[in-house]
Amino acid sequence: MRTVDVKQFVMLPNGERGYAWQTIFAADALKLAEPRLRCPECKGAVGLFRRSADEAMPDRAEHKKKNPGCSLGNHFDGVKRLAANPIEPDEKSINEQSDN
Ligand SMILES: [Zn+2]
């Protein structure tokens, strides 16, 4: 996936500052020092990967465990489900996109 959730100290929608999940590009997440990460859709753990030398693969995030219930992964079976061990699934990303 090209986007990832990171937990950062940010301006919240209510105008206060605090820690919140934000969906950003994997390329931007790679610039952060040891960010906390999760999949924007299924909230599963993900790892970051730099683009391959031949650029066949872009900067990206990949699930640490395959989740057939996540449309952002390569094993989607058509039914969206949270990861088996979702990370803070009750905390929405503050800029979560509603694309369904
Ligand atoms: Zn996912």
Quick one: tokens of 53? 């030398």
18 CA to centre of ligand 1 in angstroms: 25
CA of 57 to the centre of ligand 1 (A): 18
pLDDT of res. 24: 95
Nearest to 8 by CA among 93, 96, 97: 93
Name the pTM for this structure: 0.86
CA dihedral 8, 13, 15, 16 (to 10 degrees): -40
Give the pLDDT means over successive 10-residue stretches in the chain (100 positions): 94 89 96 96 97 91 96 95 96 64
Alpha carbon of 15 to ligand 1 centroid (Å) = 29
Segments making up each domain of the chain, as ranges:
1-94
Q: Between the CA of residue 95 and those of 6, 11, 50, 82, 83, what are the distances in Å?
A: 11, 11, 24, 19, 20
| Per-residue confidence (pLDDT) for residue 91, from 0 to 100 | 94
The rounded Å distance from CA 98 to ligand 1 centre is 15
- Collapsing DSSP states into helix, strand and coil, what is residue 14? coil
Cα of 79 vs centre of ligand 1, distance in Å, is 12
pLDDT of residue 98: 41
